[in-house]
Amino acid sequence: MHRRALPVVVLPAFVALLSSPAAAQSPSWTEPFDPVRIADDVYYVGSAGLSSFLFTSSDGHILVDPTVDENVPGILESVRSLGFDPADIRVVLVTHAHWDHVGGLASLLAATGAELRVSEADAPFVEAGTDFGFASDGYAAATVDALVADGETVRVGDAALTAVLTPGHTPGCTSWRGTMRVAGVERPFVLVCSLSVLDLYDLAGDDATYAGQADDFCRSLTRLEALEADVFLSNHGGFFGLAGKAERVRAGEAEAFVDPEGLPAFLVNARRAIDEARVGQGLAACG
């Protein structure tokens, strides 16, 4: 009798483990991290494991990704400690609608009065305070002030980021590109939205997480592979070697984030993982 009851007890816990991002949360996501200068006018203001970037100008600033709600006070403190006023953040952009990157939006917008711009496909999730692709406790909803289209450049003074839509991880996953001056030299950068195929994503068949997701991953890879980046950034510090590069900056090496091999190396691994996921679900590898 007891044995028959067992699956009833175990199964919900197992499902919760798969579907709850909290189960996957790393302690590094909320571990404080001293802000670091990436380029002459660009700073890392996130936690050890979740990226938040500040693109500054004399006319105001752009912040990318507020990360989780509990990190927002630390982000604001980092902005202040760099000598900037959070109230001068005019625009907030995001990489994608998962709580670890957008959970702090409502708090950050309230603290700064900034405008929020999000891709059309991810905007409904942000406005509902829900995660694309899995059930979670959600996060505080935020009002999207304007949509961002593929190829659109968002500007505040001299700070400028151009949207490169790279759907797959979410339907509106947005990478950003542009140039940043590093030690006086103009350098192309790419800030990659995640290309991770979550275990719970169903890429094929009638139950696909969203129609076209499997092919979107391939197309997004190809798009990113065509870009050159002297500076490679992404929304998790571990993706682009944040810790090591930050240490070198702190040791006085102003160009530590100049790493032309970073993006290609990341994409080789991403392609391998995406192909493995596709093949594992009965699809061909990306062409």
Q: Which residues bind Zn ion (CB under 5 A)?
A: 98, 194
Return the residue nearest Zn ion (CB atom): 98
Which CB, 29 or 84, lies closer to Zn ion? 29
Cα–Cα distance measured from residue 86 to residue 38, given in angstroms and rounded to the nearest whole number? 19
Least distance in angstroms from the C-beta of 97 to Zn ion:
8
Which CB, 194 or 213, lies closer to Zn ion? 194
Number of other CB atoms surrounding residue 154 within 10 Å: 21
Q: Cα angle at 19 between 14 and 23, to 5 degrees? A: 75
Cα–Cα distance measured from residue 74 to residue 33, given in angstroms and rounded to the nearest whole number? 9
Least distance in angstroms from the C-beta of 11 to Zn ion:
25
CA 260 from centre of chain: 20
Which CB, 95 or 107, lies closer to Zn ion? 95
Which CB, 24 or 268, lies closer to Zn ion? 24
What residues contact 194, with CB distance under 8 A and at least 6 apart?
95, 96, 98, 169, 173, 234, 235, 236, 239
Which CB, 22 or 185, lies closer to Zn ion? 22
Instruction: Please report where in the chains the tokens 């990113």 appear, as a residue.
Output: 224
Least distance in angstroms from the C-beta of 126 to Zn ion:
13
Q: Is there a contact between 117 and 156 (Cβ–Cβ < 8 Å)? A: no
- Among the listed residues 127, 90, 124, 121, the one whose alpha carbon sits nearest the alpha carbon of residue 106: 127
Cα–Cα distance measured from residue 139 to residue 66, given in angstroms and rounded to the nearest whole number? 12
Which CB, 195 or 258, lies closer to Zn ion? 195
Least distance in angstroms from the C-beta of 98 to Zn ion:
3
Least distance in angstroms from the C-beta of 170 to Zn ion:
7
| Coil vs helix vs strand at 83 | coil
Q: Is there a contact between 90 and 61 (Cβ–Cβ < 8 Å)? A: yes
Which CB, 76 or 165, lies closer to Zn ion? 165
Least distance in angstroms from the C-beta of 235 to Zn ion:
8
Least distance in angstroms from the C-beta of 173 to Zn ion:
8
Cα–Cα distance measured from residue 210 to residue 93, given in angstroms and rounded to the nearest whole number? 23
